[in-house]
């Protein structure tokens, strides 16, 4: 197998581990070492783009000691990793993060590892992934999402009604979190009283992602959340099988494709995946998108003057401040990319926010332009791993932004430099976004 992209020839090679280990981990210059150290700092989380730009120009296929993985920053290279799933795999990529621990310490996280052993929607490759996607997509269609539009509007209006008189809000706390969490909880058939618990579980499950050597205490929190959420979902699934309702869990428990259906472990893992992914990306889109609009008053005015620009505006928000900053792939086989040899079992991070500002693909990539055409961003992935929840995120974004423009036309920032989330390095998300209206 071989494929060619702008990054150079990509091909499987024989194993010469004893001979070319120096080539595999090239000696870094002082400049590259300084850049590598930045990848795990507050400075990088606040503004990753100068570092990513320099890496893309100087070392686009970069071995990162600070992250314990390869870091890819060119659009074409990242597209290759989406397409060549026979090399760049989704299977086993999450459980691998404990491999750096000593055997004694690693034994503590047996449940964590075991959780990521069964294949599921985003932790599998074809042909298993094809089966999962076929089953899950039947319960998560654009028609179902569109039918939720009136209820999403109600949720947004209820939240804004409670805030209107105060004249101020924290967009993340008061809107960007509760809207998608409430929506996904209702889709799952989860009582509203348990929404906050689901949010806490999701935060703790996600916290280890984005670096290849998370601290043991971070993995410990994730394992604790998994221990708590799994029996809850098992009971919920059993209840929905006994008393089916019009919700996602009931549909997933019953849905079949060509006589096949999800086993209980597959169903539990898929529910956890959809629960977490079903609101985190939208929270980022809402916060990042509104912050970007408010920092670009000319673009905000364009959208006010022409609401028909909303679809292209949302795509530009997704490109400009991608909600998912990075995603890992686990190497199944040795491969060459950009003159570097990447070994089987090593991890490669797709730096999506770097790809979405690659000047080889986007004109004036650092310019925020809601009228941008041919916006081929990778914020929702691509190909077989394009996000099944993308229609829901776009619909929620459209409703929230349109409602804010109508109800709060004088909305403005009260903090020009809000704090970015440091605890979830895989995501590009604001911790808070204080505004007045």
pLDDT in tens, 145-170: 888 999 999 999 999 999 999 999 99
High-pLDDT (> 70) share of the chain, %: 90
Q: Look at residue 339 in the predicted model and tell me its pLDDT.
A: 93
When the pLDDT of each residue in the chain is averaged and rounded to a whole number, the result is 86
- Residue range(s) defining the domain that contains residue 232: 2-436
What CATH code is carried by the domain that includes residue 109? Answer: 1.10.630.10
Q: Look at residue 13 in the predicted model and tell me its pLDDT.
A: 33
Secondary structure in 3-state letters for the chain: CEEEECCEEEECCCCCCCCCHHHHCCCCCHHHHHHHHHCCCHHHHHCCHHHHHHHHHHCCEEEECCCCEEEECCHHHHHHHHHCCCCEECCCCCHHHHCCCCHHHHHCCHHHHHHCCCCCCCCCCCCHHHHHHHHHHCCCCHHHHHHCHHHHHHHHHHHHHHHHCCCEEEHHHHHHCHHHHHHHHHHHCCCHHHHHHHHHHHHHHHCCCCCCCCCHHHHHHHHHHHHHHHHHHHHHHHHHHHCCCCCHHHHHHHCCECCECCCHHHHHHHHHHHHHHHHHHHHHHHHHHHHHHHHCHHHHHHHHHCHHHHHHHHHHHHHHCCCECEEEEEECCCEEECCEEECCCCEEEEEHHHHCCCCCCCCCCCCCCCCCCCCCCCCCCCHHHCCCCHHHHHHHHHHHHHHHHHHCCCCEECCCCCCECCCCCCECCECCCEEEC
| C-beta of residue 302 within 8 angstroms of C-beta of residue 369 | no
Number of domains in the chain: 1
Q: Look at residue 159 in the predicted model and tell me its pLDDT.
A: 97
Question: Residues for the chain: how many in total?
Answer: 437
The CA distance from 16 to 343, in Å, is 10
Q: Look at residue 29 in the predicted model and tell me its pLDDT.
A: 60
Q: Which two tokens stand for residue 160?
A: 């804004």
Q: Look at residue 210 in the predicted model and tell me its pLDDT.
A: 64
Q: Look at residue 161 in the predicted model and tell me its pLDDT.
A: 96
Q: Look at residue 437 in the predicted model and tell me its pLDDT.
A: 94
Q: Look at residue 14 in the predicted model and tell me its pLDDT.
A: 31
Q: Look at residue 272 in the predicted model and tell me its pLDDT.
A: 85
Q: Look at residue 88 in the predicted model and tell me its pLDDT.
A: 94
The backbone torsions φ and ψ at residue 21, rounded to the nearest 5 degrees and listed phi first, read -65, -25
Q: Which residues of the chain have pLDDT under 50?
A: 1-24, 26-27
């Amino acid at each position: 197998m071989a494929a060619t992209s702008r990054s150079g020839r990509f091909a499987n090679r024989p194993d010469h581990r004893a001979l070319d280990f120096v080539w595999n981990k090239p000696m870094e210059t002082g400049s590259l070492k300084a850049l590598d150290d930045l990848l795990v700092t507050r400075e990088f989380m606040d503004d990753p783009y100068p570092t990513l730009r320099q890496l893309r120009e100087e070392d686009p296929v970069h071995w990162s000691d600070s992250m314990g993985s390869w870091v890819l920053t060119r659009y074409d290279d990242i597209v290759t990793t989406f397409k060549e799933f026979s090399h760049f795999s989704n299977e086993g990529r999450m459980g691998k993060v404990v491999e750096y621990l000593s055997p004694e310490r690693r034994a503590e996280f047996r449940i964590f590892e075991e959780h990521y052993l069964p294949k599921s929607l985003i932790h599998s490759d074809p042909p298993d992934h094809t089966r999962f996607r076929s089953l899950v997509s039947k319960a998560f269609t654009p028609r179902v999402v569109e039918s939720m539009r009136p209820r999403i509007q109600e949720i947004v209006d209820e939240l804004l009604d409670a805030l209107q008189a105060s004249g101020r809000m924290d967009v993340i706390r008061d809107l960007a979190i509760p809207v998608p969490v409430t929506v996904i909880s209702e889709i799952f058939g989860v009582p509203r009283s348990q929404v906050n618990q689901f949010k806490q579980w999701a935060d703790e499950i996600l916290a280890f992602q984005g670096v290849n050597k998370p601290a043991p205490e971070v993995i410990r929190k994730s394992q604790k959340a998994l221990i708590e959420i799994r029996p809850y979902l098992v009971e919920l699934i059993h209840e929905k099988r006994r008393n089916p309702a019009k919700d996602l869990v009931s549909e997933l428990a019953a849905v079949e494709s060509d006589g096949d259906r999800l086993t209980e472990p597959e169903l539990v893992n898929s529910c956890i995946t959809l629960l977490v992914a079903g609101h985190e990306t939208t929270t980022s889109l809402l916060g990042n998108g509104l912050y970007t609009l408010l920092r670009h008053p000319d673009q905000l005015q364009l959208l006010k003057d022409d609401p028909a620009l909303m679809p292209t505006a949302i795509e530009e928000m997704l490109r400009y401040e991608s909600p998912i900053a990075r995603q890992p792939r686990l190497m199944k086989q040795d491969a060459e990319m950009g003159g570097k040899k990447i070994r089987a079992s090593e991890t490669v991070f797709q730096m999506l926010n770097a790809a979405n500002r690659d000047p080889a693909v986007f004109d004036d990539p650092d310019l925020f332009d809601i009228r941008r055409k041919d916006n081929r961003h990778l914020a929702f992935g691509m190909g077989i791993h394009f996000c099944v929840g993308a229609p829901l995120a776009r619909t929620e974004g459209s409703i929230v932004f349109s409602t804010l423009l109508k109800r709060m036309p004088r909305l403005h920032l009260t903090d020009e430099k809000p704090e970015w989330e440091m605890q979830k390095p895989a995501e590009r998300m604001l911790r808070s976004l204080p505004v007045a209206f």
